Amino acid sequence: MNTATVRSTGARVIPAPVARAALVAALIAVWQVAPTIGLVDPRLLPPPSVVGPMIVHLFGESGFQGHLATTLLETVIAFLVSVPVGFILAILIGENKYASDIFKPLVFFVFSIPKSIFLPLFIFAFGISFHQKVAFGVFSTLFIVMMLSFAAIESVRRDHLVVARSYGATRMQTVLRVYLPGMTPVLLEAIRVSMIFNFTGILLAEMYASREGLGNVIEQWGQGFQLDRLMATIVVIAAIAIVFNETIRALESRCEHWRE
């Protein structure tokens, strides 16, 4: 409230959401106009009037449906494995001082390494397969989940724990009624950021070597110069990522005051 009033020295003629929508609309308009008037080659940049119908068309193609389903399934499985496993590992490590001293630096080391360089190893281990994609997705996500979970555990206020103890909370009650809600805001952030890592890992693995999945078709259609299909797929993937991210962000803002 105060920062906004301090900063808005000039009159705010247009509300921010409207301005933002206008900006996006303007970009789409440029994307439409530039290839139409010949500013760029329409084969290099197919305009929205081509890409839009192509999206509809792709959703009707059973081949594309299969690719979409494969990618979503890999992503969901990798996510459902990496988030709980990373979270539980982080609790086991974070709870014990000795374990923290041993494992935390190692987690930070591994986190700092770009995960893509391990892709060939995953192919050796799992072959080019569904399992390999999921395994690589988990590997890409696990360490960021652990790092953010450490932060979530530390975000629980000590005085909240003391209060619970002074009112005789059992260990289980403390976990369920203080730790979990106390961690929720940071945990939601962890889920949101982890999904970005997870989705990236899956798509990368598909682009690198695969027979199916959205990453695979992007690679194929890029190589085959089918830019209308490529652009349509990019828009679909972007939409999926944004919708997931915004959903979690909406939940986050609902419990924003929990951090106080």
Task: Kindly list the residues in this chain that would bind other proteins in the complex (CB under 8 A).
Answer: 157, 159-160, 162-170, 173, 177-178, 181-182, 184, 255, 257-260
Least Å distance between CB 168 and other proteins? 5
Stated as kind and residue range, the H or E segment containing 248 is helix 227-254
Between residues 184 and 198, which has the closer beta carbon with respect to other proteins?
184
Both tokens assigned to 140: 């890409």
Least Å distance between CB 104 and other proteins? 17
Could you write out the DSSP letters of every residue in 39-104?
SS-TTTS--HHHHHHHHHHHHH-HHHHHHHHHHHHHHHHHHHHHHHHHHHHHHHHHH-HHHHHHHH
Question: Taking the mean position of all CA atoms in its chain, how far away is CA 190?
Answer: 10
Residue 212: closest CA among 71, 77, 116: 71
Report the C-alpha gap between 40 and 98 in whole angstroms.
61
Least Å distance between CB 257 and other proteins? 4
Between residues 184 and 210, which has the closer beta carbon with respect to other proteins?
184
Between residues 7 and 171, which has the closer beta carbon with respect to other proteins?
171
Between residues 19 and 163, which has the closer beta carbon with respect to other proteins?
163
Least Å distance between CB 165 and other proteins? 6
Place of tokens 């005051």: 257
Both tokens assigned to 224: 């085959």
Least Å distance between CB 102 and other proteins? 17
Between residues 28 and 180, which has the closer beta carbon with respect to other proteins?
180
